[in-house]
Amino acid sequence: MLAWAWPRIPDQVVVHVGVSGHRSGSPLELLTVLGVIGGVSYVLLAVLSLKVGRTAMARRLVLGLASGTAVFFTGLGLAFLLPQVDGRPLAVDLPLALATLGSLAAGLAAAAFAGRDPVIPATEPVPVDAPRLTDRSVAARSQDGGAGWQQRVVLGRGHAILLGIAAVAYGLGAVWLGWATASWYLGGLMLVPIPLVAAMTVAWEVRVDAAGLTARGAWGWPRYHVPASEVVRADVTHVDPLGEFGGWGLRIAGDTRGTVGVVLRNGEAISVERTGGRRVVVTVDDALTGAATLNSIAEGARPVCT
């Protein structure tokens, strides 16, 4: 498409839209800048996927971002150039919307093809030094489908206030940008991350039962599950979300295992060693009881040798 339109594109086109007005430049300048940004982003994310890709969630997130970013910057170039064929004035909203939808489709497709975690049941006994329930009846009820152990964890008050202030400031900035650039599509697009970040950050339900450990966002999404049969051991640890995960909410650490974290505050957390060298950390009250319950259930989920 671009090859067909290239001879009809003027030597000078709009290459930048900002609050202070439009800036013109050559079509090659626009494509070079977008190509470099898109290419560097794709390479960095692809390398990151190799480092943290032990879990399906990490692979899907990073590969989805890499593919979506590459398609978005390609679409952005087309969104700027094609409307200016034959010297027509730039009307970028519809092409930009199509580029956004295309990048979302590419990102979702890449995430889907990244594959699920392989089923790797644990075969070794739960280590003897791992915490266990002293009341065996609780573990027995959990394995029979009983209530198990459940906690709700919410973002700390101070961080919640900061998140709210940041969300309001960001939202006002998006509205102002839409007004200043006369592009309400751009302003609306910038508002999309607010509910997504809230879903991953505000509150989580954490449950341990016969199925294993399950963490769900306050609205039922996102959801992360560790089957009881894949629990090597569970322990209590202390977590510094900013230092270890770079922030709060559903996060992926930059370590070699790509540790998945549901980290809403500093303090105690359940640390789950999972088969395949994987690890999950969940900050929650009464983490010791949660870890002990999970170990007791995991012990019962081991294959019986005869």
Look at residue 192 and give its three-state secondary structure: coil
**Burial label, 128 (beta-carbon count in 10 A; 0-12, 13-18, 19+):** exposed
Segment 275-292, tens digit of pLDDT: 988 999 999 999 999 999
256 and 147 part of one domain: yes
Q: Are residues 192 and 238 in the same domain?
A: no
Q: Does residue 207 share a domain with residue 184? A: no
Do 166 and 306 belong together in one domain?
no
- Together in a domain, 231 and 295: yes
Give me 272's structure tokens. 């789950």
Q: Domain boundary residue among 138, 171, 201? A: 201
Last residue within a domain, chosen from 113, 143, 178? 113
Task: Give 91-125 pLDDT, tens digit per residue.
Answer: 667 777 788 888 889 888 988 887 788 888 998 99
| Residue-by-residue pLDDT tens, the chain, 306 positions | 555 566 677 677 766 666 555 667 777 777 788 778 878 887 877 777 666 667 888 888 888 888 888 888 888 877 777 777 766 776 667 777 788 888 889 888 988 887 788 888 998 999 999 999 876 555 555 555 555 899 999 988 888 898 899 999 988 988 887 777 677 777 787 888 888 888 888 999 999 999 999 999 988 888 999 999 999 999 999 999 989 998 899 988 877 777 899 999 999 999 999 998 899 999 999 999 999 999 999 998 887 643
Segment 64-101, tens digit of pLDDT? 888 888 888 888 877 777 777 766 776 667 777 788 88
pLDDT score, position 306:
39
Specify whether 129 is located in the same domain as 212: yes
Q: How far apart are CA 148 and CA 249, in angstroms?
A: 24
CA distance 270 to 284: 7
Q: Can you give the pLDDT at residue 60?
A: 83
Helices (H), 82-144: 93-113, 136-143
What is the rounded distance in angstroms from the CA atom of residue 244 to the CA atom of residue 268?
Answer: 14
pTM of model > 0.95: no
Claim to verify: residue 194 and residue 303 sit in the same structural domain: no
| Containing structural domain, residue 176 | 156-201
Residue 305: the pLDDT is 47
Same domain flag for 193 and 229:
no
Domain boundary among 60, 95, 113: 113
Residues 183, 259: one domain? no
Query: On the CB side of 194, how many CA atoms lie within 13 Å of its CA?
Result: 18
- The domain tally of the chain equals 3
Q: What is the CATH number of the domain that holds 238?
A: 2.30.29.30
Residues 146 and 276 in one domain: yes
| Whole-number pLDDT of residue 118 | 82
In terms of domains, do 92 and 191 share one?
A: no
Whether 81 and 220 map to the same domain: the answer is no
State the pLDDT at residue 147: 54
